[in-house]
Amino acid sequence: MSSQKSYVLAIDLGTGGPKVALVSLEGELIAHKLVTIETNLLSHGGATQDPNSWWEAITNSTRKLLEEGYVQRDKVVAISCTGQWGSTIAVDETGNAIADCILWMDTRGHPYSAKVLGGPLKVSGYGPTKVLRFVRKTAGAPSPLGNDPVGHVLYLKNEEPDIYREAAWFLEPVDYLNMRFTGKATASAVSMILWWIVDTRNLSNPNHQPRYAYELVRLVGIDQNKLPPLVPTGEVVGTILPKVAEELGLNRDTKVVTGIPDLHSACAGSGGINDYDPHMAISTTAWLSCHVPAKKTDPFRQIATVAGMLKDRYLLANNHDTAGICLQWLRDNIITACQDGLTKPDGITQGYAALDNIAESVPVGSNGLIFAPWLAGERCPVYDRTLRGSFHNLSLSTTRSDMIRAVFEGVAYNARWMLQAVEHFVGKELGPVRFIGGGAVSDTWCQIHADIMNKTVLKVRDPLYANARGAALFTALSLGAVKKEDIPRLVSIERTFKPNPDSRKTYDEIYPYFPRLYKMGKKMYAHLNKEGKGTVNMPIAKGAAKQSTTPPSRTGLAEGSGSPG
């Protein structure tokens, strides 16, 4: 048991369920627990979860962590929430949910969003003058597909008016958890990103205060009185409610800071806090981000700047929809034979380490096999919801081992394509990339990314728990326990991967064909997958059913918005 340091109860609420961790104010991961939450997949594009199951999982995990004695209870000084964003919970005045959370993938609000955001002339579903009003003030716009909070609230307003009328507030998941802890309804420019109704201009102005752009609120037809009051990012929302403190065994003066999306906690948890200091997250999806000083939007490459973790900075937002899930798809649908060492005789699939070992045994370049990892369409660096994945250059001599390595390489090819778009966006070449997420656990994948991207890859310590660490460091920064310049040194690098010149030569010969695959096939994909054809079966959470529609975009630019939640 540690008795000298102070600690944060860090909660990372992913779509698959909450991770609860005890992390020191210096970013040291002490202990953690994960509980899986099922997603309810409904007809007509519905996807929900029970917020009460989140709360039960979080409180149970917290009690167990504290009972196991990893730290003294009175050394837990703050609570910090991060995780999924773009989901919506209707709550009463006390913060209790009056309906299930409508998740970021729920598209039932599509007809209502399409109506308020469209017009006589449409570009990607938007009326041009309407979308420009949003982009000018917020860098993005709600999705005409309805898969964001604006679409969720419009759905409730039109289809479930009793819930809409009874709701005191519509909250993001991190703000909902904060209200359960403190009893106060609050939000920030960071937690409300995917609403695209918070004016994010002039963040560098020291007198800047977060405010809603009420003309945009009126445009989409939402009652502004149901929007939570905005507070500055990094502010202490309040202290824990006495009844919650008693239930968890925490001090009543335990502070709760503003919640942040996983995009932001990943920035701190990677140690890449400075301007143009990039990090890459490889989990179900993937993104490449860094802090930048100015607001900007590239709707064609689906890159935007959003309010950052630091009050005077913006953070890049982009996304590759299918990264780590490509390996899951390969494992679950193609790799089945026991002799591979990937499946036990009883049919239980082994971990991903076996995939690593097989990929290592295949020559660089996968014997000429190329995998396009667009299993659910693509967002960055091209926006195309009809795009699909494929293997190219298959032959009778192609083996499953070749296919395994090709999947590793295909995701990295897409990362290089996205990196080029990001460097064009920021106007400069970026330095070493810090890797986090489940994909970063694989040394094989780290090296492949380093070789294909021609970047030094820095694998951070405990990459799976970078968001929990980032939430704790964000809290430490907010409380004044650490300074911005301390954060890079507080996140240690487990291993450094430098590009291999021999591998680079092979990849540089192959890579130019990768973006051409999109150009050659886009008309075919558009025809095969129009109007619901070629639907995607994408696992939403462990133990959950499968989604039988194309997962919607979550970036909120040309199509609309949202990350691995």
- Measuring CA to CA, how many Å separate 337 from each of 333, 350, 400? 11, 12, 11
d(CA 417, CA 452): 10
Q: Which two tokens stand for residue 451?
A: 């070789």
Q: Which two tokens stand for residue 1?
A: 């048991």
Strand duo 76-83 + 7-14: pairing: parallel
Contacts of 102 (CB under 8 A, 6+ apart): 46, 47, 48, 87, 88, 89, 108, 152, 155, 156
**Does the structure show a pLDDT above 60 at 57?**
yes
**Does the structure show a pLDDT above 70 at 351?**
no
Say if residue 253 is in the same domain as residue 344. Answer: no
Q: Which two tokens stand for residue 114?
A: 């399409």
- Residue 466 forms part of a structural domain: no
pLDDT per position as a tens digit, 497-509: 999 999 999 999 9
Say if residue 236 is in the same domain as residue 343. Answer: no
Q: Please, are residues 317 and 304 in contact by the beta-carbon 8 Å criterion?
A: yes
Q: What is the pLDDT of residue 383?
A: 84
| pLDDT classification of 251: cutoffs 50, 70, 90 | very high
pLDDT above 90 covers a percentage of the chain that reads 76
Say if residue 27 is in the same domain as residue 112. Answer: yes
Q: What is the pLDDT of residue 555?
A: 39
Average the pLDDT over 48-70 and give the result: 97
Listed ranges 30-39, 176-185, 376-385, 554-563; the one with the highest mean pLDDT: 176-185
Say if residue 253 is in the same domain as residue 358. Answer: no
| pLDDT classification of 458: cutoffs 50, 70, 90 | very high
Say which CATH number the domain at 543 has: 3.30.420.40
Angle at which helices 443-453 and 501-510 pack, to 10 degrees? Answer: 70
Q: Please, are residues 328 and 297 in contact by the beta-carbon 8 Å criterion?
A: no
Say if residue 100 is in the same domain as residue 220. Answer: yes
Q: What is the pLDDT of residue 120?
A: 85
**Does the structure show a pLDDT above 90 at 9?**
yes
- Residue 264 forms part of a structural domain: no
The DSSP secondary structure of 221-253, one letter per residue, reads T--GGGSPPB--TT-EEEE--HHHHHHHT--TT
d(CA 237, CA 246): 19
User: How many residues appear in the chain?
Assistant: 565
**Does the structure show a pLDDT above 70 at 431?**
yes
Q: Please, are residues 65 and 33 in contact by the beta-carbon 8 Å criterion?
A: yes
Among 208, 228, 258, give the residue marking a domain's end: 258
Cα separation of the two ends of the chain? 32
Q: Which two tokens stand for residue 383?
A: 């926006």
- Residue 137 forms part of a structural domain: yes
Tally the domains of the chain.
2
**Does the structure show a pLDDT above 90 at 249?**
yes
Say if residue 103 is in the same domain as residue 183. Answer: yes
306: amino acid identity, one letter: V
- Residue 314 forms part of a structural domain: no
Say if residue 236 is in the same domain as residue 329. Answer: no
Say if residue 337 is in the same domain as residue 231. Answer: no
- Residue 486 forms part of a structural domain: no
Q: What is the pLDDT of residue 99?
A: 98
Say if residue 249 is in the same domain as residue 340. Answer: no
**Does the structure show a pLDDT above 70 at 492?**
yes
Say if residue 237 is in the same domain as residue 338. Answer: no
Q: What is the pLDDT of residue 564?
A: 32
pTM confidence score: 0.88
- Measuring CA to CA, how many Å separate 232 from each of 152, 192, 301? 25, 12, 30
d(CA 484, CA 220): 38
Say if residue 120 is in the same domain as residue 241. Answer: yes
d(CA 154, CA 174): 21
What is the pLDDT of the chain when averaged over all its residues? Answer: 89
| pLDDT classification of 331: cutoffs 50, 70, 90 | confident
Average the pLDDT over 437-457 and give the result: 96
Residue 98 DSSP SS3: coil
What is the domain range of residue 540?
324-453+504-547
- Residue 113 forms part of a structural domain: yes
pLDDT per position as a tens digit, 142-187: 989 899 999 999 999 999 999 999 999 999 999 999 999 999 999 9
Q: Please, are residues 65 and 55 in contact by the beta-carbon 8 Å criterion?
A: no
Residue 323 DSSP SS3: coil
Q: Please, are residues 252 and 240 in contact by the beta-carbon 8 Å criterion?
A: yes
DSSP-assigned beta bridge partners for residue 497 = 457
**Does the structure show a pLDDT above 60 at 421?**
yes
Say if residue 352 is in the same domain as residue 207. Answer: no
Average the pLDDT over 219-229 and give the result: 97
Q: What is the pLDDT of residue 401?
A: 93
| Residue 380, number of CB atoms within 10 A of its CB | 26
Q: What is the pLDDT of residue 340?
A: 52
Least confident segment among 109-123, 285-299, 549-563: 549-563
Contacts of 231 (CB under 8 A, 6+ apart): 186, 187, 188, 210, 237, 258
- Residue 360 forms part of a structural domain: yes
Q: What is the pLDDT of residue 336?
A: 60
What sign has the CA pseudo-torsion 225, 216, 123, 383? negative
d(CA 257, CA 268): 15
- Residue 440 forms part of a structural domain: yes
- Measuring CA to CA, how many Å separate 153 from each of 34, 112, 179? 30, 10, 19
- Measuring CA to CA, how many Å separate 342 from each of 357, 403, 407, 428, 440? 11, 14, 16, 42, 20
